[in-house]
């Protein structure tokens, strides 16, 4: 979050009191025809909507529909949808018709309406934007989009509209104290209310907010009131505070009638990579192969799973930090207005900048640590694997309670299921205390090699520390040369680490954090998944 | 509470009075300084269009009010020192230690004004005299007996005073309470910008400048060894989870929705003010937390404020009994 001056903050309060909201409704025949066909198709499916092929077809159609409503580009624009979109639709329709030949008429009508829309050069959203821009050319204008993937394309289109100064905004841009004269919001208000981003309208950052949406889209403004028993904000709907609160914490009535035709995209974590929902009974499944992980939707529509243990951490880029502040600075990680911070994975929030390895595969630290260890690396890693493998086997063979009991009997004061799982993990080095380590060795029957394993683990640990310092230095070198303004504006920035191993790291703005943890293959942890895995509309 | 219209902000070459919204937060802090006491815990939640300066100004109002309330007892102490004979045994608080010493009386300094002196005896100081402004008289404690023998020394040292800006704004010589009375939990970068980097001045004298931290005196932002009347903890650091480190503070200011969600239970034994930014991604999560607790603990006691809520700001207050 950016810092602000008293004057800037004053403008925020002033804008809030003077802001005027205007709704511009638009229409397009071909799009309406497509949407009517889609509604008819859905109705005809009735009980077959949950079939995988039907739901995939609906997902594709709704994805297209969302783009038509959210993107101010002509329907025929080649970058509005993926290049292979129509091919995927054709494949899915063919598969669907094999299972449900009785729906042929509706399906063909739907595909035909979609093709007609995609052939249209109409661009009703851009027409309104251009008209608004021509009214007051000196205004500072922003264009708020719901779809992050097309920001660059729309910025290019704005030049063609004669509005090169138009600032393309995402919701996160409207969290600072920076204010605009006019903001054009593309899409119905409920898109933002649904994702709890109603501050666009409740704590506006522009004197004029213009909403552009299709006339058949249901929409309404919700109450800005937050506290049930609070005072201060007038309720625009005239509801009592309690009613307003209930309305905000439930689905708005306007959404229900249109529920099946929901426009808003959401992330389907279960369709990404090799993951499964984590339930309490999965405790034993968390092992060498699988880990409990949390999903993060990142800028650019990519996702990543990071281990969600209390001891797991992630590297964040903190924007705008001053010199000499914070733990990162005290470790010498501060560079001008930027610091790197390692925080618990569980603490990572939307809006943070997550630094991830995006090329070169795997975590860089073990790679560099191996270099630090040199010729002794392979032997050291093998020794580590030896006792960890033995511990995994003991974990599988013995009842968990028995293993905990045995370890405690052997002298470990902290033996417990989470700690045992932690010791088993390949990326951990060794228990902190020698007594716990000796207890493990005793239970595994490796007491005679305890000293050897302990010293090797210490050697590996020191190499990891050196590698961590090395990567931080390399990264800071790259960061110094990079434009942090780009990171803030684009929400993503790549830092090449070619000197090290030809790989790179990328800072991503976190857009969404999955509410529930999932069971994910360890090989997929930290891997940035491609956008194709996340095309997610219902 | 000081006259808030006398506080002006400085933004480049421009100066201007603190806007109405800022004066509201100052008043809220001052009101809490009056209300927060042993046995009763206040809960205040604010939904604001931007979190900027909200927590900082509430903390400023709170500390300023506490300083001004405590000044009367300080005057009595100063009066006692004025009646003390030179050479009387005293103790002096310095750098976290209390040193035995002898009272040297008062003197006038052309730069810092009136000062008092104490000659201390320790291995390091070896009989050195320290001369402090009278505003810091609370460092001296008068001892009962007169039994300390100190070596003769001609060495002496003047110790700088607290901010002229703060003294002028609060119209007090003493601008500290001698103890930490509030803690702000939030993002250090933002709080540092608001408390330390942002410049303010007096309405009647634009050259008399300072920062909110001259009043708030957050331990993290004052030089080591200087007295602090508040502290600032980074929300993600372990300190934020150990209220014991906040000493005798009675009010925790939770700056941000995440701060409230994470730490409200940890700080439940203190009164708290939560600043919830409407643009925060966790705003509604925090609001639900507040609503749930507010409805459950519903009480008839509300914080009565004389000034109007700024536009776009929502306030809810309630009381809970201390455990």
pLDDT for res A123:
93
Mean pLDDT of A78-97: 88
Query: In which region does residue A96 sit, left (phi positive, over 0), alpha (psi from -120 to 50) or beta (all else)?
Result: alpha
Q: Tell whether domain A6-26+124-221 is in CATH 3.30.9.10.
A: no
Q: Are B241 and B299 found together in one domain?
A: yes
| Winning range, highest mean pLDDT, from A84-98, A303-317, A422-436 | A84-98
What is the rounded average pLDDT of the residues B262-283? 90
Q: Are residues B34 and B178 in the same domain?
A: yes
Q: How high is the pLDDT of residue A273?
A: 56
pLDDT, one tens digit per residue, over B55-100 is: 999 999 999 998 888 765 566 777 778 878 788 888 888 877 778 8
Mutate which: B236, B278, B293, B299, vs A, most A CBs within 10 A: B278
Residues of chain B positioned with their CB less than 8 A from the CB of A177? 50, 52
Residues B274 and B181 in one domain: yes
Mean pLDDT of chain B: 84
Q: What residues contact residue A485 under an 8 Å CB cut-off, 6+ apart?
A: none
What residues does each domain of chain A span?
6-26+124-221, 29-119, 274-367+479-533, 369-464
> The domain spanning residue B96 has which CATH number?
2.30.30.60
Q: What is the pLDDT of residues A468-525, one digit of tens each?
A: 777 767 766 776 666 666 676 677 887 776 555 546 778 888 877 887 788 887 777 8
Which of B127, B158, B189 is the C-terminal boundary of a domain?
B158
Interface test mutation site (partner B, options A9, A19, A207, A327, max chain B beta carbons within 10 A): A9
Work out whether strand A141-144 and strand A167-169 pair parallel, antiparallel, or are unpaired.
parallel
Residue of chain B whose alpha carbon sits nearest to that of A203 = B49
| A-to-B residue pairs, Cβ atoms closer than 8 angstroms | 140
Contact B45 A230 (CB under 8 A): yes
Q: Are B10 and B92 members of one domain?
A: no
Q: Does B292 touch chain A (CB under 8 A)?
A: no
Name which of B14, B193, B314 is nearest A227 (Cβ-Cβ): B314
Inter-chain contact B193–A6, Cβ cutoff 8 Å?
no
Does the pLDDT value for residue B195 go beyond 90? Answer: yes
The total of other beta-carbon atoms located within 10 Å of residue A371's CB is 15
pLDDT band with cut points at 50, 70 and 90 for residue A329: very low
Of B198, B283, B312, the CB nearest to A6: B198
Does the beta-carbon distance from B287 to A199 stay under 8 Å?
Answer: no
Is B315 or A281 the better-scoring residue by pLDDT? B315
If asked whether residues B223 and B250 sit together in one domain, one would say yes
* Distance in angstroms (rounded) separating the CA atoms of residues A345 and A348: 5
- Identify all chain A residues contacting B194, using CB atoms and an 8 Å cutoff: 3
Identify the domain boundary among B158, B174, B194. B158
Q: Do B209 and B84 sit in the same domain of this protein? A: no
Q: Report the gap between the CA of B287 and the closest CA in chain A (Å).
A: 6
Percentage of chain B modeled with pLDDT above 70: 88
Regarding whether B286 and B264 lie in a shared domain, the answer is yes
Whether residue B315 lies within 8 A of chain A, CB to CB, comes out as: yes
Give the residue on B whose Cα is nearest the Cα of A227.
B291
Which of B107, B137, B158 lies at the terminal end of a domain, its last residue?
B158
Q: A424 with A415: CB under 8 angstroms?
A: no
Whether residue B134 sits in one domain with residue B95: yes
Please write the tens of the pLDDT for every residue from A188-241.
998 888 777 889 999 999 999 999 999 988 888 887 788 888 776 654 444 444
Q: How confident is the model at residue A47 (pLDDT cuts 50, 70, 90)?
A: confident
Domain, as residue range, for B60: 4-73+164-321
C-alpha dist (Å) from residue A474 to A186, A497, A499, B96, B136: 41, 7, 8, 41, 49
CB B44 within 8 A of CB A229: no
Tell me how far apart the alpha carbons of residues A418 and A436 are, in angstroms, rounded to a whole number: 14
DSSP character at residue B14: E
Distance from CA of A149 to the nearest CA of B (A): 20
Given CB atoms, is B261 within the 8 Å cutoff of chain A?
no
For residue B233, the chain A residue with the least C-alpha distance is A326
Using the Cβ of B287 and the Cβ atoms of chain A, whether some distance falls under 8 Å is answered with yes
Q: Are residues B173 and B202 in the same domain?
A: yes
Q: Do A10 and B288 touch (CB under 8 A)?
A: no
CA nearest neighbour of A242 among A255, A257, A223: A223
Contacts (Cβ under 8 Å, ≥6 apart) of A235: A223, A224, A225, A241, A244
* Count of the separate structural domains present in chain B: 2
Q: Report residue A112's pLDDT band, with 50, 70 and 90 as the boundaries.
A: very high
Q: Are A195 and A187 in contact (CB under 8 A)?
A: no
Closest CB to A6: pick one of B9, B237, B298.
Answer: B9
Say whether both B209 and B61 belong to one domain: yes
Tokens coding A405: 């009991």
Mean pLDDT of B130-159: 72
């Amino acid at each position: 979050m950016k810092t602000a001056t008293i004057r800037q903050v004053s403008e925020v309060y002033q804008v809030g009191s003077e802001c005027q909201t205007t709704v511009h409704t638009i229409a397009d025949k071909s799009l309406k025809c497509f949407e009517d066909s889609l509604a008819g198709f859905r109705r005809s499916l009735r009980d077959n909507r949950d079939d995988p092929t039907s739901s995939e077809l609906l997902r594709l159609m709704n994805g297209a529909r969302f783009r038509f409503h959210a993107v101010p580009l002509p329907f025929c624009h080649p970058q509005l949808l993926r290049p292979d979109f129509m091919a995927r639709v054709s494949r899915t329709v063919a598969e669907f018709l094999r299972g449900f030949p009785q729906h042929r008429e509706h399906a063909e009508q739907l595909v035909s309406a979609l093709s007609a829309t995609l052939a249209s050069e109409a661009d009703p959203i851009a027409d309104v934007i251009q008209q608004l821009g021509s009214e007051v050319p000196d205004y500072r204008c922003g264009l708020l989009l719901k779809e992050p993937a097309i920001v660059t394309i729309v910025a290019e289109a704005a030049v063609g509209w004669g509005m090169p100064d138009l600032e393309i905004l995402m919701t996160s841009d409207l969290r600072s104290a920076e204010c605009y004269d006019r903001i054009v919001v593309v899409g119905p208000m409920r898109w933002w209310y649904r994702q709890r981003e109603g501050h666009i309208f409740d704590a506006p950052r522009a004197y004029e907010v213009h909403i552009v949406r299709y006339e058949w889209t249901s929409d309404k403004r919700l109450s800005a009131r937050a506290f049930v028993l609070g005072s201060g904000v007038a309720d625009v709907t005239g509801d009592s505070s309690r009613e307003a609160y209930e309305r905000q914490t439930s689905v708005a009535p306007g959404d229900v009638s249109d529920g099946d035709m929901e426009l808003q995209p959401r992330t389907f974590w279960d369709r990404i990579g090799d993951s499964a929902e984590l339930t309490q009974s999965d405790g034993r499944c968390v092992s060498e192969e699988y880990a409990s992980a949390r999903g993060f939707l990142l800028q650019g529509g990519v996702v990543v799973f990071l281990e969600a243990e209390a001891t797991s951490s992630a590297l964040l880029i903190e924007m705008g930090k001053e010199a000499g502040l914070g733990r990162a600075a005290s470790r010498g990680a501060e560079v001008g207005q930027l610091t790197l911070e390692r925080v618990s994975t569980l603490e990572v929030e939307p809006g943070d900048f997550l630094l991830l390895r995006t090329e070169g595969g795997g975590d860089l630290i073990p790679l560099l640590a191996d270099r630090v260890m040199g010729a002794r690396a392979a032997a050291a890693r093998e020794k580590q694997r030896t006792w960890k493998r033995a511990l995994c086997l003991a974990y599988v063979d013995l009842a968990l309670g028995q293993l905990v009991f045995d370890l405690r009997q052997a002298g470990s004061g902290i033996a417990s299921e989470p700690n045992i799982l932690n010791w088993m993990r390949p990326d951990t080095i060794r228990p902190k205390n020698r007594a716990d380590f000796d207890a493990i060795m005793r239970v595994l029957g490796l007491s005679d090699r305890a000293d050897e394993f302990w010293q090797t683990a210490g050697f590996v640990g020191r190499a990891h520390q050196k590698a961590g310092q090395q990567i931080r230095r390399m990264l800071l070198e790259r960061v110094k040369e990079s434009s942090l303004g780009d990171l803030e504006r684009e929400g993503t920035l790549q830092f090449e680490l070619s000197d090290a191993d030809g790989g790179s790291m990328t800072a991503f703005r976190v857009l969404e954090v999955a509410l529930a943890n999932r069971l994910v293959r360890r090989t997929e942890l930290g891997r940035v998944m491609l956008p194709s895995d996340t095309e997610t509309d219902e | 509470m000081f006259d808030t219209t006398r506080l002006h902000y400085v933004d480049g070459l421009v100066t201007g009075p603190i806007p109405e919204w800022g004066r509201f937060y100052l008043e809220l802090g001052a009101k809490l300084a009056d209300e927060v006491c042993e046995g009763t815990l206040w809960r205040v939640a604010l939904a604001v269009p931007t979190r900027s300066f909200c927590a900082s100004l509430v903390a400023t109002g709170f500390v300023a009010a506490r300083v001004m309330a405590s000044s009367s007892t300080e005057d009595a102490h100063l009066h006692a020192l004025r009646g003390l004979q030179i050479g009387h045994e005293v103790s002096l608080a310095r750098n976290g230690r209390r040193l035995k010493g002898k009272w040297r009386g008062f003197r006038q300094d052309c730069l810092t004004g009136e000062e008092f002196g104490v000659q201390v005896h320790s291995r390091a100081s070896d009989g050195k005299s320290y001369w402090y402004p009278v505003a810091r008289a609370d460092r001296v404690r008068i001892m009962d007996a007169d039994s300390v023998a100190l070596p003769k020394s001609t060495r002496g040292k003047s110790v700088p005073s607290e901010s002229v800006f703060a003294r002028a704004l609060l119209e007090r010589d003493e601008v500290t309470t001698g103890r930490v009375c509030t803690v702000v939990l939030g993002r250090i970068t933002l709080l540092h910008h608001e408390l330390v980097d942002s410049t303010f001045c007096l309405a009647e004298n634009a050259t008399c400048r300072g920062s909110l931290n001259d009043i708030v005196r957050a331990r993290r932002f004052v030089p080591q060894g200087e007295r602090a009347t508040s502290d600032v903890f980074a929300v993600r650091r372990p300190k934020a989870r150990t209220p014991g480190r906040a000493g005798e503070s009675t009010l925790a200011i939770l700056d941000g929705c995440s701060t409230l969600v994470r730490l409200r239970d940890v700080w439940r034994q203190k009164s708290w003010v939560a600043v919830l930014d409407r643009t925060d991604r966790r705003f509604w999560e925090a609001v639900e937390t507040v609503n749930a607790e507010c409805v459950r603990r519903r009480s008839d006691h509300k914080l009565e404020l004389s000034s109007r809520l700024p536009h776009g700001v929502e306030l809810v207050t309630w009381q809970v009994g201390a455990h």
